[in-house]
Structure 1
Amino acid sequence: MGPFMVSYHSRSEFLKHKLYGGLNFLGSLELEHSSSQLKLQSKARVLSRKLHRSHALVVKSEYPQNADFPRYYSKKEKKPFPVPVVELRRAARERVKNSKGQPKKPLPPPKNGLVVKSLVPVAYDVFNARVTLINNLKKLLKVVKVHACSYCNEIHVGPVGHPFKSCRGQNASFRKGHHEWTDDAVIEDVLLAVDAYHLYDRLQKRIRHDERFSIPRIPAVVELCIQSGVDIPEFPTKRRRKPIIRIGKREFIDADESELPDPVPEPPPKPLLTEIPDSEITAPGNEGETTLLAEETLEAWEKMRRGAKKLMRMYPVRVCGYCPEVHVGASGHKAQNCGAHKHQQRNGQHGWQAAVLDDLIPPRYVWHVPDGNGPPLQRELKNFYGQAPAIVEICVQAGATVPDQYKPTMRLDIGIPNNTTEAEMVV
């Protein structure tokens, strides 16, 4: 007898064929034709591979996992322009080129003196969100510990102040950069106050230097809301019902409104909130109320910034490139009160440029404490800690959920070593 071959099929291969109803007839064909057996088996393997292909789950996010901290600008540096001057000049030349031979179009609001009607509810939302934020922060400060340095303007949110040598205050060299922490932090340390001149007419002439004390100064966000349509009796402003008539580039006259009927007082789209006095502030009763208050505070912070960004697209806001002075209007004032680096060469005048959202509502960044009940921050592990705006850090330590846009700088996905020896082993 000659040599013979016996074909052997494993149980797993047999189950692969039995998984699909359309391949059940392969068992009968395998016994009859050995040559076709190999072809059918190879086809079955290919089909099984295609049907059993695993698809990897890809999770996409608009925000990076980790991001660098905001850069610290020295007082000797000038702020960068939001849009480079070269791009501004190129866009201006393009507008002049496209407008040649074309009839002049009427100016849209707010350039013609009228208010943008669609942004009036947004202005009321920003004003109320700011008041809500201030009232809630006063309550949270009674629950969450916020420390302030006695020599510099740095603050820290947590049970114990951080040990980093970052003090730039008086006699910092004698203290080797160490902070002297106190528990005297107030609302102004957390929410930085940025004031601006209140304009009775936002199209009026620029404020002169000798008028700097006769014009009231109010928070810049409130001034932006007033120019956007919010009516506050304490700060009256001029409301036009007809567009202005342009005479020159910077000269205009108001249209005759005597023929119009008397304006009918309209109720505001939303009632204005008021700040609660400090004597009436009460701390939340339990942990649940604290968490709800923190969530509401974080929502008011995001609502105020989101609404202010919409208003700044239509209503111009200017900031000095050398100091934090802000002016809400098309052109900055002429008050010579800039005391930044080399102000003598500019005779105290401001270097006005377009402002960004962080100039109007500056976020004060503080170090993020991973665990409030855990060990305090260690100076040797500084590179492993993250940062967040002080308002966000207060809300997070009070029980609120961390928003996605602040996770990159807070470095929540980085494992923090337990000691310096373990940190040296990190690649």
Structure 2
Amino acid sequence: MRPGEERPVEGGACASVSDLELLKLRAAECIDAAAERLGALSRAIWSEPELAYEEHHAHGVLTRFFQSETPAGSWAVQPHYQLATAFRAEWGSPGGWAAPRPLHLGFLCEYDALPGIGHACGHNLIAEVGAAAALGMKGALESLAGLPLPVKVIVLGTPAEEDGGGKIDLIEAGAFKNLDVVFMAHPSQENAAYLPDVAEHDVTVKYYGKASHAAAYPWEGLNALDAAVLAYNNLSVLRQQLKPTWRVHGIIKNGGVKPNIIPSYSELIYYFRAPSMKELPVLTKKAEDCFRAAALATGCTVEINGGAHDYYNVLPNKSLWKAYVENGKKLGIDFISEDAMFSGPSGSTDFGNVSFVVPGIHPYFYIGSNALNHTEQYTEAAGSQEAQFYTLRTAKALAMTALDVIFKPELLERIREDFRLKLEEEKF
């Protein structure tokens, strides 16, 4: 088998390291061959941004993409998989002889946007990376006469990462139950095989007071805005006692309707973040004490409601991300150092919850711009032609790493062992 040839590798499996490298080249060629269609997919999602659980256009673009792949019916597509805007597309290899069940490799697509600024986190590119890596895998495996074990390539469309946690909904529905390893990648300002995305708990805090005329009878009122301001200041004072790795940030969403009416209602929204699910409840209790103290001081009543889901911290899988780095470097990807990975800035993602149920990788990739995520400048960068080269290069690295998982049984065992040990370490 030479670069560019489509004939199967003789013997049905990679007989040597060089055969595996040629198979990786085949995956990259398949991605390049689909570059125009993949770019069109990304632009279609980028041009019509949709919020969490409302990604009907993006969902349609992605499901039609897989339904239209040739030969017809090669991808089995479930358009509304467990959620209205989720989907599952599956391709299965024709056979294998050494495993009681197929190896299930999952590629995840995100496609929700941010309010007001569109795809400022580049989820259109996440969708493209997932689709491209899956196409590369399928093309490479189809070039073989047979495989050492049966393989299923599964693409999961996962809505609502920015708000709500669509992956958590899918976990609870059993969508990740049979997956062996999952892959996705997220746009950033740098190439990092891993970043320590942290655990997050969201709360909505509501204060109920009593309205009164602010000039004539202020003593008859209970000021819910005062409670909100005290809560905000309580948390600001608490920061001195917070660990450097903890984060507390929030807004006052509602503070009254008119200056001459004592506010009878106020509302705050806060996010709490900590490096692990073991630490997050400690931070949450400290913050909730601040909210309750404000209610006591003002005579108001308080209602504290947690979000639908907590986002877990992302578990690292060193064996998996080392394989990804090795493949990425062959493609010219310049990664930040391991020290920089663990000391750099991070956010939160519902992929963290996935990393607690199945081994996976969630690397970050440069898209040709130094703009920061969640800005209008990043929205522009995510829709640029320049981002396409970096996006498809990342997809190739993911596909190549997935091929390593198939053809290097010892790697799969190390990945599973890393996963087991991290779960033990992070038990909460």
| TM-score between both structures, scaled by the size of structure 1 | 0.20
The structure with the larger Rg is: 1
The structure with more strand, counted as a fraction of residues: 2
| TM-score between both structures, scaled by the size of structure 2 | 0.20
